[in-house]
Structure 1
């Protein structure tokens, strides 16, 4: 068990490890900028078909109540008593990690009137800690398993969510592009699993998996805000008692998580192709559904990972492609050619994927794809203007500043840094971005390879020409 690191408690800096024990690490992001304090628990698993549905069901079951707060109404009443505290939980996919998270937010002591604070004689942060840990570690159990009636209800809710993916056509087209690109890789697994997986799980098996996840898997806890040393020590004390005692009681051995997929390009050999050969090797998937506007997604492998020296150059490269109105995609495809109703990109740094998405007339599919690939080729050949370069840097700076204004996004940023093995704060990240040269961007762009074209459209016009 590590000693509490008190050196960072009085200074506003980036996140810092303050305590660790039993496969658990507690980090603190000190800040007086926000009016609230947050506590976020991240339980880490690898994305696997056999556990993805179980992981998705666990937070759904736990939010329904625990022994101290046996239903959602009781939880809501407790949050009201804590001056409008909030609670959330769920699952997220980061690279090939599957993260089960629990989050609580409460008002900072600095913003509670002194009269109320002392008359009520309560510590909001500590009460919030107690509520969150009770919900996570003390679920209602019946005959060695979760309640079957609650499990049936939550299965149905998740089933509707999985089957309802198609209702958001834009999001669906990006998810399907990724699924087709990574169909033989863990990253191709949907974060909520599939309907079949939901119904393979019964209440006893789910409870057994819950115990392993909560007491044996790696846990990263992030505290954010203006929190006293005494309150941090209280969280550590309560959590350490629960996690170590219950792990021993449930005979759980600590689980190791595979991090190898983050840096799997150590022996990478890149083949540089011209545009015509690239077009010939890209896989195409066309899906028909009743849509008024076709959704096109083009998926690329960047072949660059967070700890690579050219990662920051890739970051700027994606900004030149899609940063603002001066970016190549917006300027040449939406504005000049008029081929897209919208166009944007998404970048998964932990997996090395880059997806360009746009809304088009399906008859313009071939022309749009060719023009998208031309923008990549332009960067590879050094066709980058000073305006494009400066606009990309400025766009990245704007995004970083917007993240700093959102407490939850700050936590997510630093959690992502932790998972990827990086050590940047916002200032060092921006300095490294500004040190990227145009030549660095050209070099890294030559590693980008297109892999898949996905089109969601209403019919045969997609196949014309």
Structure 2
């Protein structure tokens, strides 16, 4: 899928030449171990690097320059994957091949170089007013979760089943950790980014591979750094013996979130079987949860499941009326039990294979998605291709799915509802 080059120890360039797109997408991904404090610092640092630098000290000047380059896009963000925090610098620009005599790509490379190596500093520190502003922006981003009750409920579930674990640590940290960030910590993290973090760089577009390699070697002189091998994230059981928590907020629709533990992760040989199992349980519109909990019984506004493969956890989410909580949990339990008993039809299997296949193929219509998919799957095999992975689903049998369902164990039920449910109990 991608051709690979080593620019320095711990710094790899991945290039995918394709005529599929008229633009060129570039992504830098710096990775380090995820902690609550480092996530907060890196999220604020991402904002600072995005909105100001030595050559374009204000956001408006920077955006105007990008607009002049045929509306090129450049942004920095932070995310997490397993036990790693990822700070990404992404750019999308028009391909010079579609212009007359202009060299937009070279200008984008210069801008990327400026963002990485020439941040706006005063006497070795970031501008304090900018630091204050971007800390406030990250705090607002964290607090926005409280307005999205589904996100809030999922976070509360994670905090109860995996406290102080990568699964429950936000990619933005917490409000207190952001508030406590100092300028010195930001500068130290910036230097770590340049010299210590494992770095993967991706390019997707109609490009000459060797020319791209030369451009990166010319513009970016990265130093060697140590590589921390990607490993399976250990997922200990929660330290409490609770299996259910009901919380009340001022809201109407109840949010039912159930966590299940499994012995399978992204790195397991059985991972493709679990993808199929989750698809039949609640991954798609033909799934048992959707058809029986939502459609047949009309018990939920939505009902679905997802597999957090890097943590070996399955989550079932349902939007229900508060007084239907017990019935909904019982009906959800019945769907998993049916799969464990082998009640799986050929139609369900074939539909799930088709949906997984279409989902993966459709993702490849986006350059950004190609980068994200390969960035994860290359941890299993750097020769990853869509066709090979689709082949892994093709021979999975009903018996394998039933056996896999039998390895799924319910761990915790979290329910968030309005005050009227408290009155009914």
Bin of the TM-score, shorter chain as denominator length: over 0.9
- Residues 29-71 of structure 1: per-residue CA shift (max 9 Å, x gap): 2211111110000000111123111111111111121112222
Partner of 1:433: 393
Partner of 1:274: none
Partner of 1:169: 149
Partner of 2:114: 134
Deviates more, 1:355-364 or 1:176-185: 176-185
Kindly state the Cα deviation for residue 422 of structure 1 after the two structures are TM-superposed: 6.7
Partner of 1:49: 36
Distance of 1:354 and 1:238 partners within structure 2: 45
Distance of 1:322 and 1:154 partners within structure 2: 39
Distance of 2:65 and 2:217 partners within structure 1: 22
Kindly state the Cα deviation for residue 256 of structure 1 after the two structures are TM-superposed: 4.2
1:442 to 402, 407, 411: 402
Kindly state the Cα deviation for residue 187 of structure 1 after the two structures are TM-superposed: 2.0
Deviates more, 1:39-48 or 1:185-194: 185-194
Distance of 2:382 and 2:264 partners within structure 1: 14
- Residues 256-314 of structure 1: per-residue CA shift (max 9 Å, x gap): 4363334x59xx9xxxxxxxxxxxx8711222111111111111122212232211110
| Structure 1 position 358 matched with structure 2 position 318 | yes
| Structure 1 position 31 matched with structure 2 position 31 | no
Q: 1:323–1:391: 8 Å Cα contact kept in structure 2?
A: no
**Aligned CA distance change for structure 1 residues 405 and 51 (closer, same or farther; 3 Å):** same
Kindly state the Cα deviation for residue 419 of structure 1 after the two structures are TM-superposed: 4.0
Partner of 1:259: 230
Partner of 2:76: 89
Secondary structure of 2:51's match?
coil
Kindly state the Cα deviation for residue 456 of structure 1 after the two structures are TM-superposed: 1.3
Q: 2:153–2:255: 8 Å Cα contact kept in structure 1?
A: yes
Kindly state the Cα deviation for residue 111 of structure 1 after the two structures are TM-superposed: 2.6
Distance of 2:400 and 2:204 partners within structure 1: 36
| Structure 1 position 99 matched with structure 2 position 86 | yes
| Structure 1 position 217 matched with structure 2 position 197 | yes
Alignment of 1:325-344 (within 5 A): 325-344=285-304
Kindly state the Cα deviation for residue 197 of structure 1 after the two structures are TM-superposed: 0.7
| Structure 1 position 295 matched with structure 2 position 255 | yes
Kindly state the Cα deviation for residue 464 of structure 1 after the two structures are TM-superposed: 5.4
Q: 1:307–1:422: 8 Å Cα contact kept in structure 2?
A: no
| Structure 1 position 238 matched with structure 2 position 218 | yes
The TM-score with structure 2 as length reference comes to 0.93
Secondary structure of 1:63's match?
helix
1:317 to 277, 280, 287: 277
**Aligned CA distance change for structure 1 residues 99 and 34 (closer, same or farther; 3 Å):** same
- Residues 73-119 of structure 1: per-residue CA shift (max 9 Å, x gap): 2221221232111011111111121110010001123332xxxx32x
| Structure 1 position 16 matched with structure 2 position 3 | yes
Kindly state the Cα deviation for residue 376 of structure 1 after the two structures are TM-superposed: 1.3
| Structure 1 position 182 matched with structure 2 position 162 | yes
Partner of 1:307: 267
Partner of 1:277: none
- Residues 198-255 of structure 1: per-residue CA shift (max 9 Å, x gap): 12211122111111123211000010111123531333213542x23xx8xxxxxx35
Distance of 1:395 and 1:86 partners within structure 2: 32
| Structure 1 position 228 matched with structure 2 position 226 | no
Secondary structure of 1:374's match?
helix
| Structure 1 position 412 matched with structure 2 position 412 | no
Deviates more, 1:435-444 or 1:215-224: 435-444
Secondary structure of 2:246's match?
strand
- CA-based RMSD of the aligned residues comes to 2.1
**Aligned CA distance change for structure 1 residues 446 and 421 (closer, same or farther; 3 Å):** farther
Secondary structure of 1:125's match?
helix
Q: 1:298–1:454: 8 Å Cα contact kept in structure 2?
A: yes
Distance of 1:192 and 1:135 partners within structure 2: 21
Deviates more, 1:197-206 or 1:55-64: 197-206
Distance of 1:311 and 1:152 partners within structure 2: 44
Deviates more, 1:345-354 or 1:414-423: 414-423
Distance of 1:436 and 1:394 partners within structure 2: 13
Partner of 2:328: 368
Number of aligned residue pairs: 421
Kindly state the Cα deviation for residue 188 of structure 1 after the two structures are TM-superposed: 1.3
Q: 1:44–1:257: 8 Å Cα contact kept in structure 2?
A: no
